[in-house]
Each structure stands twice: as structure tokens, then as C-alpha cells.
């Protein structure tokens, strides 16, 4: 079984360096490894001091590089998915739809093609390990939530099967203010739906894929890393290691830098108190840039010499429903969330968990459709949502979810 590791973090903290060091360490173990850049500001070529570009390039035994170009992928490799997305967008008119909470037209949706390509490469079985160097936090979160968001959207507005489309057409137009696409476009949407489901299964497979965070011990970066961790959990991604880069030595030899070392210590303590469930790896601040294969090789040897580095060391529990009096309690992992910024609402078929500008719609099991939220409780790293079942009388009278 292959392995995918996704690296993300704030801009400039060392994501590409750490991802590249993983790729080299992996190749050194004799595993055929692909280092992929999904950051539009590609710099694998710069780090390995070679031209890379949009096609896989083997740089040495067991190590290949690829800089993904979503525009090219969209046109050359996934023209049908592109047509499906156009059909979806055309039919929603680009307006905010129902309770998605976001405008359907998502800036950067074209990066989805990078994920689809990564899945294709994974499925080809050529590589034992795929190391993905991602864009800074916000963009990566937008990217990682896309497969689920699109799947949700398609299931909600474009029920699978042409017969259903005909039956639902007039209803959906009135209820959701969207026009359903033609039958031909519908095929493409169905096809894309299948791809999105498989993509999600892969990215959330606890034996295959994990996300590793890279940060530095500085206030703004630590704040962003904590939030990133929370949002990744909200979207049910498995974070299995945190790298803290650019750590100053105990004695820097200068008062000025010793003061910075003390500041770093303070934030290091904070990181250690937040990421209690995730292994933390520290990386020293070197006196030179990490450029060229030799420098990356040194980073790999000195820092990534960790037994089981490529194993997934953390297992997220899946969301659970537990029976309580009059309903169910849904538990979602949401480490470090501020109760003030979390909003939960049930919209007949889904539960919508919103933390600041990030929201996730989780389809509810049939028994819970139309349930109401009666209580929110924060417990360690978890959010517990109490849901009361809709009573039978209400159910027959008010259920408008079916035509
Ligand atoms: N531990 C380190 N010591 C010294 N320089 C580093 C270290 N980590 C990264 N760098 C340098 O910092 C710059 C940014 O690193 P990079 O890996 O490109 O970050 P990102 O991908 O997060 O933007 C690069 O010039 C890199 O060589
Ligand atoms: Mg980078």
C-alpha cells in the first residue's frame, strides 16, 4: 500500500525544505518516491537545482519530482471534469446556494485538478510514497475541503440518475434556485461525483494519507498553526507530526540572539502544550539556506533520522454518535476551538459546523434528519453536539425535504 504525506504551514517556515528532506530520506530507504509541488509558487527546481516543470522528472534512483500545473491538468488530463464543473457552476449561477455558507464559486477550485492528478499517480502504483509540498495554510485548507464540499453539493442538488433529475427538476428550481444541467452534463457530474468520492476516501484513509505541519516558534506562526490544526480536524484530516523549524541553539553567542532564543522557548512550550497528541520534531536553524541536494540530504540525515518516520503515528477517532436521552450526541474532534466562534445548526439533512469562515456540512443519518441542536459542550479536544430527534407529529406535518 502506498503512502501520501501532505505538508502545509505558513509561508516561508520551511515546508518545501522539510518535504524535500522527507523525499530524500524516503528514496534513501530504497522506496520509489515522488515529491510533488502543489504550490503554484513552485520551487522544487530551485531546491534541487534542476528544471522540473509539469511532467515527472527522475532526479536519481528512487526520487522523482513534479511541479503540478492545474491549468494544464484541467485542459489536458481532466477535460470532462472541467466540463462538469462548468455545468455545475452554470446551473448555480455562481450565487451562494442554500446553506453551503460559501459561494459555490470557490477561488482556487482549479487546484482540485492537482488533487485528482495526485490520486491518479497514487493509483498507478508506480510510487511507494508521494510527498506533497503544499501552498501556505489558507490555500491548502481551501483545497483540502474541496472534495467533500463538491461531493456534498452534488449530492444535494444533483441527485444521481437521470430519472431523478427529471422528477426533481421543477422542485429544485423553486426550492434551491438552481437549474439542473442537461442530461449530458449530468453524466459528467455523475462521473465527477464518483471521482470526488474516491478522492476523499483516499485523502482520509487513515492507513495512507496524513498531513504534517511545519512551523517556527514565533507568535503569529504558532497561532496560525494551532488554527490550521483545528480546521484540518474539522475537515477530518489526520495530522500526524508537527515540525518546528529554525530553532536557535542554547547559546547563540550573542545577547541579541539569546533574547530571541528565549522568545522561541516560550513559543516552543506553547506548541508542546497544544500538540500533546502529535509527535513534535525540532529542526535547528542552520547558518546557511537549505538549498541543493546535499543540504537537503543533510537535513534528512540529521533531523529525519526517526524510526518509523513514514508510519502514521496518530489515529483520529472517527466522528461518533452516541445515544442520549431523546436523541444522539455527535462528537467531533476540534482541538483548540474557542466556543465563542463555533456555530452549529441543522439544516434538514445535514449538520453544519461553522468555525469562523470555515464550515463543514456533515450529512446526518436518516434517523437524525431534521433534528435540533439542544446543547454544545467542549471537552478537551472535542466538541459534543446534542441532537434531539424531531418528534413524529412534526415530522409528518413539516417535512419539506422530499418533493
Ligand atoms: N532550518 C533552516 N535553517 C536555515 N535556513 C532554512 C531552514 N529551513 C528553511 N530555510 C530556508 O528558508 C527559506 C524558506 O524555506 P522553504 O522551505 O522554501 O519554506 P516554505 O516552503 O515554507 O515557503 C529557504 O531559503 C530555506 O533554504
Ligand atoms: Mg515552499
Q: What is the CATH number of the domain that holds 358?
A: 2.60.40.790
Question: Last residue of some domain: 303, 337, 353?
Answer: 303
Number of H helices, E strands in the chain: 12, 15
Strand, coil or helix: 377 = strand
Question: Is 11:216 a contact under the CB 8 Å cutoff?
Answer: no
**pLDDT by residue for the chain (403 residues), tens digit each?**
899 999 999 999 999 999 999 999 999 999 999 999 998 888 899 999 999 988 999 999 999 999 999 888 988 888 877 777 776 666 554 433 333 444 445 566 778 889 999 999 999 999 999 999 998 988 888 889 888 888 877 777 766 433 344 444 444 445 555 555 666 666 777 778 888 889 999 999 999 999 999 999 999 999 999 999 999 999 989 999 999 999 999 999 999 999 999 999 999 999 999 998 899 999 999 999 999 999 999 999 999 999 999 999 888 777 788 899 888 999 998 998 888 999 999 987 789 999 988 889 887 888 888 889 999 999 888 999 999 987 743 544 444 333 3
Nearest to 129 by CA among 15, 236, 210: 210
Closest CA to 104 of 77, 85, 122, 83: 85
- For ligand 1, say whether the CB of 291 is within 6 Å of any of its atoms: yes
Q: Say if 49 falls within a structural domain.
A: yes
CA dihedral 46, 134, 299, 222 (to 10 degrees): 120
259 shares a domain with 127: yes
Burial class of 70 by CB neighbour count within 10 A (0 to 12, 13 to 18, 19+): buried
> How many whole angstroms separate alpha carbon 160 and alpha carbon 184?
13
Query: Which ligand minimizes its atom distance to the CA of 46?
Result: 1
Residues 7 and 40 in one domain: yes
Q: What is the pLDDT of residue 379?
A: 86
Domain that holds residue 360: 320-398
Report CA dihedral (165, 168, 173, 176) to the nearest 10 degrees.
Answer: -100
C-alpha 25 to ligand 1 mean position (Å): 17
Check whether residue 256 and residue 346 sit in a common domain: no
Ligand 1 pocket mutation, candidates 17, 46, 264, 285, criterion most atoms within 8 A of CB: 17
Cα separation of the two ends of the chain? 44
| pTM of the entire predicted model | 0.86
- On whether residue 287 sits in a domain, the answer given is yes
Instruction: Report in angstroms the alpha-carbon separations of 338 from 222, 230, 272, 275, 377.
Output: 16, 10, 19, 16, 11
- Beta-strand (E) ranges in 105-154? 129-133
H or E, element range at 332: strand 327-333
Query: Is the domain of 31 the same as that of 66?
Result: yes
Q: Could you tell me the distance, in angstroms and rounded to a whole number, from the CA of residue 12 to the centre of ligand 1?
A: 6
The pLDDT of residue 227 is 93
* C-alpha–C-alpha distance, residues 244 and 279, integer Å: 11
Number of structural domains (the chain) is 2
Residue 285 is predicted with a pLDDT of 97
Of the listed ligands, the closest to the CA of 290 is 1
Which of 253, 278, 303 corresponds to the end of one domain? 303
Q: Are residues 195 and 336 in the same domain?
A: no
Amino acid at each position: 500500500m502506498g503512502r501520501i504525506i501532505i505538508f502545509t504551514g505558513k509561508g516561508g517556515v520551511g515546508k518545501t525544505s522539510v518535504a524535500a528532506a522527507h523525499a530524500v530520506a524516503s528514496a534513501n530507504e530504497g522506496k520509489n518516491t515522488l515529491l510533488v509541488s502543489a504550490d503554484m509558487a513552485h520551487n522544487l527546481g530551485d531546491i534541487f537545482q534542476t528544471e522540473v516543470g509539469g511532467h515527472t522528472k527522475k532526479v536519481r534512483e528512487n526520487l522523482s519530482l513534479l511541479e503540478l500545473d492545474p491549468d494544464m491538468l484541467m485542459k489536458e488530463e481532466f477535460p470532462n471534469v472541467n466540463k462538469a464543473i462548468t455545468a455545475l457552476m452554470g446551473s448555480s449561477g455562481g450565487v451562494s446556494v442554500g446553506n453551503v455558507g460559501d459561494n459555490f464559486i470557490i477561488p482556487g477550485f482549479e487546484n482540485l485538478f492537482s488533487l485528482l492528478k495526485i490520486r491518479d499517480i497514487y493509483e498507478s502504483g508506480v510510487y511507494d510514497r508521494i510527498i506533497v509540498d503544499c501552498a501556505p495554510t489558507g490555500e491548502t485548507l481551501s483545497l483540502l475541503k474541496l472534495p467533500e464540499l463538491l461531493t456534498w453539493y452534488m449530492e444535494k442538488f444533483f441527485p444521481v440518475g437521470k430519472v431523478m433529475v427529471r422528477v426533481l427538476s421543477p422542485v429544485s428550481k423553486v426550492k434551491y434556485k438552481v437549474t439542473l444541467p442537461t442530461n449530458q452534463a449530468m453524466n459528467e457530474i455523475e462521473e465527477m461525483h464518483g471521482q470526488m468520492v474516491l478522492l476523499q476516501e483516499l485523502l482520509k484513509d487513515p492507513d495512507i494519507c496524513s498531513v504534517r505541519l511545519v512551523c517556527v516558534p514565533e507568535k503569529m506562526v504558532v497561532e496560525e498553526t494551532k488554527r490550521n490544526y483545528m480546521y484540518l480536524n474539522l475537515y477530518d484530516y489526520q495530522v500526524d507530526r508537527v515540525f518546528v523549524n529554525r530553532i536557535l541553539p542554547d547559546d547563540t553567542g550573542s545577547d541579541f540572539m539569546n533574547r530571541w532564543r528565549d522568545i522561541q522557548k516560550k513559543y516552543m512550550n506553547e506548541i508542546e502544550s497544544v500538540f500533546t497528541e502529535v509527535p513534535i520534531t525540532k529542526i535547528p536553524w542552520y547558518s546557511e539556506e537549505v538549498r541543493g541536494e546535499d543540504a537537503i540530504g543533510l537535513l534528512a540525515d540529521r533531523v529525519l533520522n526517526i524510526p518509523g518516520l513514514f508510519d502514521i503515528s496518530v489515529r483520529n477517532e472517527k466522528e461518533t454518535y452516541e445515544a442520549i436521552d431523546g436523541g444522539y450526541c455527535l462528537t467531533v474532534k476540534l482541538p483548540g476551538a474557542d466556543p465563542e466562534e463555533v456555530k452549529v445548526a441543522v439544516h434538514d439533512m445535514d449538520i453544519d459546523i461553522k468555525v469562523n469562515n470555515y464550515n463543514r456540512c456533515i450529512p446526518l443519518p436518516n434517523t437524525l434528519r431534521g433534528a435540533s441542536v439542544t446543547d454544545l459542550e467542549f471537552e478537551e479536544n472535542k466538541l459534543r453536539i446534542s441532537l434531539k430527534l424531531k418528534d413524529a407529529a412534526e415530522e409528518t406535518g413539516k417535512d419539506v425535504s422530499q418533493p
